[in-house]
Amino acid sequence: MLLKGNWLKNQSEYMQILTGEAFLILLKCEQVLLTERVLIQIKIEAIRMLQQWSADILEIWTEVYTMALSEIVKLNRKQPVAELESLFLECKQTVQKMSDRNQTIKVRLKAASLVGQLAKYDSLGDPERFKSFFLQKL
């Protein structure tokens, strides 16, 4: 139910935060093995949530996004990198969008936090890719 259609999008901020926390528990729980399909659905919802302006929502969903992406990349580690390119590009665009000068300070702060979490969870599967995406200006 949590991942169907626009259910989450239409919920209150409180419910969106609670849902994020629930996904985070699932993602961190070693006893639960989420399938790739579910992980992709979680990632799609996370990208939607990252378009919001609430700092509390961004706080929880940046971690959900980075953990889900990390798990997807791990599951596809043996696949050719080209198959994951769209995921990486989407990730780069998400960070760029959140870092845009037109965004509020809160969102831009969370963009920095997102980059840190991508490193923490090895979400791009390769430090060199991470460097080429995010450390050019640093």
Partner 1 sequence: MCSHLIHVSRYIGQASSEEKVLPEIKELLEDEEGEVVTEAIVQFQKHIASVFSDELVQAQDALDIFQKFCDLTLEHDMCMIDLAILLKKLGKIIVSMNRPTEPGILQRIGKLV
- Give contact residues for partner 1 (rule: CB under 8 A): 109, 112-113, 115-117, 119-120, 122, 127, 130-131, 135, 138
Q: 11 is written with which tokens?
A: 């919920």
| Minimum gap (Å) between residue 111 Cβ and partner 1 | 10
Residue 36 or 126: which CB sits closer to partner 1?
A: 126
| Minimum gap (Å) between residue 114 Cβ and partner 1 | 9
Q: Are 92 and 133 in contact (CB under 8 A)?
A: yes
For residue 138, the one-letter residue type is L
Residue 22 or 112: which CB sits closer to partner 1?
A: 112
Residue in the block written with tokens 């989407």: 90
Residue 19 or 62: which CB sits closer to partner 1?
A: 62
| Minimum gap (Å) between residue 115 Cβ and partner 1 | 7
33/78 Cα distance (integer angstroms):
18
Residue 44 or 97: which CB sits closer to partner 1?
A: 97
Residue 41 or 113: which CB sits closer to partner 1?
A: 113
| Minimum gap (Å) between residue 120 Cβ and partner 1 | 4
Which secondary-structure segment (H or E) carries 24?
Answer: helix 13-28
End-to-end CA distance of the chain: 42
125/87 Cα distance (integer angstroms):
11
67/61 Cα distance (integer angstroms):
10
| Minimum gap (Å) between residue 128 Cβ and partner 1 | 9
